[in-house]
């Protein structure tokens, strides 16, 4: 099983340096490691130009830069192939993958899929993803969670729509196929998986700390700390486990940091790297593969008729609980999470909610 690790934190706190050090440490511990990024900063920091083909940096450690243009080309060829299988007069064949520009959202979908493919290939024990580390990274990693809600909420409603009824003869074969093509175009020969199954697999993948985990990176500077806390809460909103905090020494003012603000996570102080000497930094790192007792983003206690949502880093007044649709909606950090509850609680009205020690406790 491949573990994907990523880093969340304010820009300029040393996320890329930390990602490199973690990758180097893991490869020395015997893991096959892929260190990957979209940003050219990773290659600049390594002093090695990176591209779509993984380049060996050290024994067992490979570096790669994702290019959305190249990923989109590959997806487009598969979509054209599918269209030609399902429609008598395919129309997309005269548009070339090499012409396609990138619209917002494409980067995230293409990269998430590329990470998933890399993990499924089992070529690596650990993939260290040096992403944008901000709300944009959470949007990307939240796709299975959010898309699964859109699917379950819109499916029933759209089935009753005139437009969709007219479209069904065209849509049924192709949507299933394109869905699995865009999310899994390795096995074109296999029968396409249902969207439900794909999204459920994606959610399971993202919320399993043995397959996907994040670390917070911060200096002791107050705004970097606030951003790390904010992103910690944001990670819970998409079901992503945050395993710990790395405090980097880049704060020129050397402010003191209150480590209790990240409790119960452990904070590891990292030393300054001097030039290309990575040893002291590598030695200061923990083994990121360790399984740590960190709070679950969500727990449902049917007997007590309670749902506990771990939402650290948010202030009580920034967390909103509503029940407009058939599910409960939690809004915090400009994110929304809809929670489908199991049968005894499903569809029940909320009778109370309180916010205590970073937990939102909802009673039914």
What residues numbered 132-151 form the site for its own copies, per CB under 8 A?
A: 132, 134-136, 139-140, 142-143, 145-147, 149-150
Nearest residue to 220 via CA among 242, 193, 252: 252
Angle formed at CA 274 by CA 269 and CA 280, multiple of 5 degrees: 45
Shortest distance (Å) from residue 298 CB to its own copies:
15
101 contacts 72 by C-beta, under 8 angstroms? no
- Both tokens assigned to 267: 């904070």
339 contacts 327 by C-beta, under 8 angstroms? yes
Which listed range, 35-43, 120-128, 179-187, 295-303, lies at the site for its own copies (CB under 8 A)? 35-43
Shortest distance (Å) from residue 206 CB to its own copies:
14
- Angstrom CA distances, 294 to 80, 144, 238, 242, 291, stand at 45, 22, 16, 8, 9
**Run of H or E residues at 155:** helix 143-159
* Angstrom distance (rounded) from CA 154 to CA 157: 5
Is 346 among the residues that bind its own copies (CB under 8 A)? no
Query: Which of 268, 285, 336, 353 is close enough to bind its own copies by CB under 8 A?
Result: 336
Query: Which of 29, 79, 100, 259 is close enough to bind its own copies by CB under 8 A?
Result: 100
**Which residues does residue 338 pair with via DSSP β-bridges, in sequence order?**
329
Query: Which of 99, 277, 287, 290 is close enough to bind its own copies by CB under 8 A?
Result: 99
Put residue 245 in one of left, alpha, beta given phi > 0 → left and psi -120 to 50 → alpha: beta
Is 325 among the residues that bind its own copies (CB under 8 A)? yes
Query: Which of 157, 189, 256, 291 is close enough to bind its own copies by CB under 8 A?
Result: 157
Q: Which is nearer to its own copies, 97 or 286 (CB)?
A: 97
Nearest residue to 364 via CA among 347, 354, 350: 350
Is 266 among the residues that bind its own copies (CB under 8 A)? no
**Neighbour tally for 177: CB within 10 Å:** 21
Is 184 among the residues that bind its own copies (CB under 8 A)? no
Query: Which of 48, 102, 204, 340 is close enough to bind its own copies by CB under 8 A?
Result: 102
Which listed range, 55-63, 166-174, 198-206, 263-271, lies at the site for its own copies (CB under 8 A)? 166-174
Site for its own copies in 50-79 (CB under 8 A): 67-69
Site for its own copies in 226-255 (CB under 8 A): 226-227, 230, 250, 252
- Can you give the C-alpha Rg of the chain in angstroms? 22
Query: Which of 30, 96, 155, 187 is close enough to bind its own copies by CB under 8 A?
Result: 96
**Neighbour tally for 167: CB within 10 Å:** 13
Shortest distance (Å) from residue 31 CB to its own copies:
27
């Amino acid at each position: 099983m491949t573990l994907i690790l990523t880093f969340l934190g304010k820009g300029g706190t040393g996320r890329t340096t930390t990602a490199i050090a973690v990758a180097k440490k893991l490869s020395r511990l015997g893991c096959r490691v892929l260190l990957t990024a979209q940003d050219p900063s990773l290659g600049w920091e390594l002093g090695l130009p990176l591209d779509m083909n993984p380049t060996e940096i050290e024994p067992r450690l490979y570096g790669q830069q994702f290019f959305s243009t190249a990923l989109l080309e590959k997806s487009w060829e598969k979509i054209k192939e599918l269209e030609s299988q399902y429609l008598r007069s395919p129309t997309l064949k005269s548009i070339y993958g090499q012409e396609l520009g990138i619209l917002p959202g494409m980067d995230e979908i293409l990269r998430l899929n590329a990470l998933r493919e890399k993990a499924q290939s089992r070529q690596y024990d650990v993939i260290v993803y040096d992403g944008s580390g901000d709300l944009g990274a959470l949007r990307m990693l939240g796709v299975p969670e959010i898309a699964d809600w859109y699917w379950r909420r819109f499916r029933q409603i759209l089935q009753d729509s005139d437009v969709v009824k007219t479209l069904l003869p065209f849509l049924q074969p192709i949507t299933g196929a394109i869905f699995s093509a865009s999310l899994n175009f390795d096995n074109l020969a296999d029968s396409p998986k249902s969207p439900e199954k794909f999204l459920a697999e994606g959610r399971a993948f993202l919320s399993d700390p043995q397959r996907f985990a994040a670390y917070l990176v911060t200096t002791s500077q107050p705004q970097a700390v606030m951003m790390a806390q904010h992103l910690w809460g944001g990670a819970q909103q998409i079901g992503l486990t945050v395993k710990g905090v790395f405090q980097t020494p880049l704060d020129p003012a050397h402010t003191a940091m209150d480590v209790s603000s990240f409790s119960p996570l452990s904070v590891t102080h990292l030393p300054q790297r001097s030039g290309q000497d990575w040893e002291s930094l590598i030695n200061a790192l923990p083994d990121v593969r360790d399984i740590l007792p960190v709070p679950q983003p969500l727990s449902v206690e049917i007997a007590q008729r309670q749902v506990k949502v771990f939402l650290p880093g948010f202030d009580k007044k920034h967390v909103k609980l509503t029940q407009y649709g058939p599910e409960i909606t939690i809004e915090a950090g400009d994110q929304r999470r809809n929670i489908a509850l199991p049968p005894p609680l499903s569809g029940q009205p909320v009778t109370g909610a309180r916010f205590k020690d970073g937990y939102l406790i909802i009673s039914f």
